[in-house]
Structure 1
Amino acid sequence: MTEDHGPDEFGRRLQRLRHARGLTQRALAEPAYTAAYVSTLEAGRARPSDAALKHLADRLGVDTDELATGRPAHLAARLRLTLAEAQAELATGDVELAARRFAEVLEHAEREELTGLRPAALLGLGECALEAGRLDRARAHFEQAERLLADQPLPARAAAVRGRAVTHLLAGELRYSCYLLETAIDQLGAAGLHDPDALLLLYSAVIGPYMDMGAHARAAQAAELALALAPDATDPALVAHLHRSVARTLIAEGRTAEADRSLAKAQELYQRLRLTGDLAKCHWMRGYVHAQADDLPSAEAELRTARAMLATRRAELFTHQIDVELADVLRRMGRRTEAAGLLTTLLDAIGSERGAVHAAGAHRLLGLLAEDAGDSAAAEEHWVRALSLLERAGAAGDLADLCRLLGDLYRRTGRTELALDVYRTGLGHRAAPGTTTLGPAPAAPVLPAPLAGTP
């Protein structure tokens, strides 16, 4: 229930405090005011001036904000401290404790009308829900935060937009995730709001869905623009996240050594900031880099490290995504039974609504394992399921690769027409590399010119 700060409620509060201290109206009023003035205030027929409020608060021995609103003294400061503690807990691993603290801040902020704290608490709750794989709940928190910030400049809403886009990405809605992020980037440019932190946040976030859609050229462009923004950014966590995101584009271009160096920079920053969730994702991507270079033992070690770190945070959705990468490494190492068990457990836990791209990846690998075992029927079943998931998500790069696998299977089993149909589907998705069906890429931001004499 929201506190009523009108004159009637103020009058009742003033009278309660006066009686509790055993003061008469005259004793409270003097020497600056009269008993009649105090009587008028207590009856709710007038509001006190700032000077009168300070006088009355001093006489009653309370804080002026507490007298004016009924809030305990320094409540806002205490809640900001709780908010900071919640953010620290989220960064270092205790997601459940972080969620409880964010919820505590939100409850008090709503009850006491501390509107400035509500969006930050909602953003924190959204991040906690994301870690736990509760995408609908996370999206609701991000949407509510965005509504509360509707009258604020777009940079203030960037984190909420990014959070909402990530929920759609993890649900397999790649195009809509791109649409949200591209729209925000364009709006920042149109409004002339060159905010390095907001732009860096949005550009780093859009690299992931671009890569999943096979739009590698657009992802590379976003990475270059984000790197150009990095020197002006004020948040080191954003810069670390940037290096992690850029590594994806370097891997896609076959530049694994550069990707590893970028990840090392990110890892150093995350260790310094003690952001264990993001540090785990660095280990995850370094595992992927090692796998691309056929260093499978190192890949397994990095992926298991990442998995263990995320498991302690109960970040199930991200843990399942790592399992897909780990299963591929195990298959390539000849540990097929272990890989199949990991993927089957994963599919029992993850639904298409919570990660179509990653469920498709699991089916793709199970198809490869079935083909290795000579079971073409099982391989076909898994690849058809994966194809359906990827078509719905619009993951063009993965879809083209899967069409090749399925087409080859049809051709080997004498179904030439089916093979041709599947190959055509794959070619359709590879016809325009580096593009999406979203229309033009966002306009590049106008970067500040370097100072004279700088390199």
Structure 2
Amino acid sequence: MTYRGEMTEPLGARIRRLRTGRGWTQRELAEPGYDRGFLAKVETGSRPPSEEMLAYLAQRLGLTVDELRFGRPPGIAEELRAALDEGYRDLEQGRIAAAEERFASVGKQAAGYHLDDIECYARFCQAEVKWQLFDVSGAQEALEHAEELAGAAPPWLRAMIVHRWSGCRFQRGDAGTAIARLEAELAAGPADPDAELCLLTALIHPLVEMGGLHRARRAAEAGRRLARAATRPDFVARFHRQASQVWQATGHADRADEDLTEACRLFASAGFDRDAARCRWARGYLLRHLGRLDEARAELTAARDQLAAIGADEGFAGATLELAEVRLRQGAAAEAASLVSAVRDLLSRDVESLGEATSLLGQVAQAQGDPETATRLLREAFEIQTTASLHGAAVSTALRLGDALRHRGHLDEAIEAYRRGLESAAGAE
């Protein structure tokens, strides 16, 4: 993709080109502020123009100073920004290669035009490609590259970079750092409602998974108030999707379903297919916890297929894992094990998913009459979850491990497993 403009043209040559393009002589451009001879030296590059002269020439040529200085065609910033927005929709709809090419092209041109805010946005979009492909390390590195230019970025973009960066840290098992970064940004006072809503949204999931339900609920309640003033529908939609997790965890299933329905509507209206499919995944999770297993299976199957079709590896792996949980509860242990095995490599990139998958395989082994394997896998899952401070999941795994040990007659080990589960519960808040 090529945009207007010549980014390597010397300033003097650019002034000459713009002048002759208008049919003006050097005298006509220079006077009355400057003489023709001085302009001639500027055009040949033998004398640099002062800031005052540059402003004068820009005004005479009908340009801004930076348009003249950097060779920016009028309107190029809006054109490049619109190209990134279009590329982001490509990414959401599964056209990953086209999106990645667009992001790289716009980023290069923005750098040439010294448009730091747009280059930052392009770098963020490149990180989103890594995120969608479940390359957590690559996404974090790209986000840190984007953050080098965050000082020029609008508040919503700075917040979204922190949002994703914290998500990467959480997926790599560093929930404490993820939460600390988000809370520090919030304490600093985000510049607008969109930015604050974005940061609160990012805070909810790690708090819930660490067992901090009271803090997560405060974040959700604050986010609900902010959503009324926010201007970005995608940010409001992400908030509703995450808030549903709080209401489900606190026993408000109807409220959770309302939030998911609204999130899906907003994402669909924006053409964000990836995020709309993730809402279906979240709704399948809700339905499983409500015991509506047939409905959960249908919703999760649809979500998994949609996420696979658009190349969203992280969502595909998560929806498949959740579908495996449903099939296990429906008595199809072998199918559950097969589903997990099919995405095991993807799940290993995310500590939370790896712990959940390992626990699920332990439950499968128990259902298939292999208590020794079940015990080993449940121990492994518990260690993964406690190391990552995933207290809520660790408590559930400890209970399963204790029960498995008790049924095998290992009472002392069962008591120890229950004790460690209680310690995880105590560490939740």
Q: CA deviation at 1:17?
A: 7.3
Name the counterpart of 2:283.
Answer: 286
Check conservation: 1:213, 1:396, Cα contact below 8 A. yes
CA RMSD, aligned part only? 2.9
Q: Which has the higher contact order (CA 8 A, sep 6+)?
A: 1
Name the counterpart of 2:123.
Answer: 122
Distance 1:220 1:302, change over 3 A: same
Q: Does 1:103 align with 2:104?
A: yes
Map 1:132-151 onto structure 2 (within 5 A): 132-150=133-151
Q: Distance in 2 between matches of 1:390 and 1:142?
A: 26
Q: CA deviation at 1:307?
A: 0.9
Q: CA deviation at 1:143?
A: 1.8
TM-score in terms of structure 2 length:
0.88
Q: Does 1:412 align with 2:417?
A: no
Check conservation: 1:280, 1:306, Cα contact below 8 A. yes
Q: CA deviation at 1:66?
A: 6.3
Q: Distance in 1 between matches of 2:174 and 2:388?
A: 5
Q: Distance in 2 between matches of 1:75 and 1:234?
A: 24
Q: CA deviation at 1:130?
A: 0.9
Q: Does 1:384 align with 2:385?
A: no
Q: Deviations over 1:343-395 (max 9, x none)?
A: 112223432xx211111111111111111111111112211221221122110
Q: Distance in 2 between matches of 1:152 and 1:273?
A: 23
Check conservation: 2:54, 2:65, Cα contact below 8 A. no
Residue identity matched to 1:420? I
Q: Distance in 2 between matches of 1:18 and 1:198?
A: 43
Q: CA deviation at 1:24?
A: 7.6
SS in 2 for 1:232: coil
Check conservation: 2:118, 2:153, Cα contact below 8 A. no
SS in 1 for 2:134: coil
Q: Distance in 2 between matches of 1:226 and 1:63?
A: 39
Residue identity matched to 1:281? R
Q: Does 1:201 align with 2:203?
A: no
Structure 2 segments unaligned to the other structure (5+ residues): 1-5
Residue identity matched to 2:46? G
Q: Deviations over 1:307-334 (max 9, x none)?
A: 1121122111221111111001111122
Q: Distance in 2 between matches of 1:397 and 1:306?
A: 25
Map 1:59-98 onto structure 2 (within 5 A): 68-71=69-72, 74-98=75-99
Check conservation: 1:247, 1:259, Cα contact below 8 A. yes
Distance 1:130 1:284, change over 3 A: same
Distance 1:271 1:37, change over 3 A: same
Distance 1:417 1:75, change over 3 A: same
Check conservation: 1:174, 1:212, Cα contact below 8 A. no
Check conservation: 1:204, 1:226, Cα contact below 8 A. yes
Check conservation: 1:321, 1:358, Cα contact below 8 A. yes
141-150 or 330-339: bigger deviation: 141-150
Check conservation: 1:270, 1:276, Cα contact below 8 A. yes
64-73 or 202-211: bigger deviation: 64-73
Q: Deviations over 1:127-178 (max 9, x none)?
A: 2211111112211222222231247786662121111101112223222211
SS in 1 for 2:148: helix
Q: Does 1:174 align with 2:175?
A: yes
77-86 or 146-155: bigger deviation: 146-155
264-273 or 338-347: bigger deviation: 264-273
Check conservation: 1:213, 1:394, Cα contact below 8 A. yes
For residue 214 of structure 1, the aligned residue among 185, 206, 211 is 211
244-253 or 29-38: bigger deviation: 29-38
Name the counterpart of 2:229.
Answer: 232
Distance 1:402 1:74, change over 3 A: same
Distance 1:174 1:73, change over 3 A: same
Residue identity matched to 1:106? G
For residue 368 of structure 1, the aligned residue among 358, 363, 367 is 363
For residue 425 of structure 1, the aligned residue among 396, 420, 423 is 420
Q: Deviations over 1:393-435 (max 9, x none)?
A: 11001101111111222222232222222111101111365x1
Q: Distance in 2 between matches of 1:350 and 1:110?
A: 36
Residue identity matched to 1:218? R
Name the counterpart of 1:45.
Answer: 47
Name the counterpart of 1:453.
Answer: none
Structure 1 segments unaligned to the other structure (5+ residues): 436-455
Check conservation: 1:360, 1:390, Cα contact below 8 A. yes
Map 1:231-310 onto structure 2 (within 5 A): 231-310=228-307
Q: Distance in 1 between matches of 2:31 and 2:258?
A: 72
SS in 2 for 1:263: helix
Name the counterpart of 1:443.
Answer: none
Q: Distance in 1 between matches of 2:157 and 2:417?
A: 46
Residue identity matched to 1:361? E
Residue identity matched to 2:421? G
SS in 1 for 2:188: helix
Q: CA deviation at 1:49?
A: 4.3
Distance 1:274 1:71, change over 3 A: closer
TM-score in terms of structure 1 length:
0.83
Q: Distance in 2 between matches of 1:17 and 1:223?
A: 55
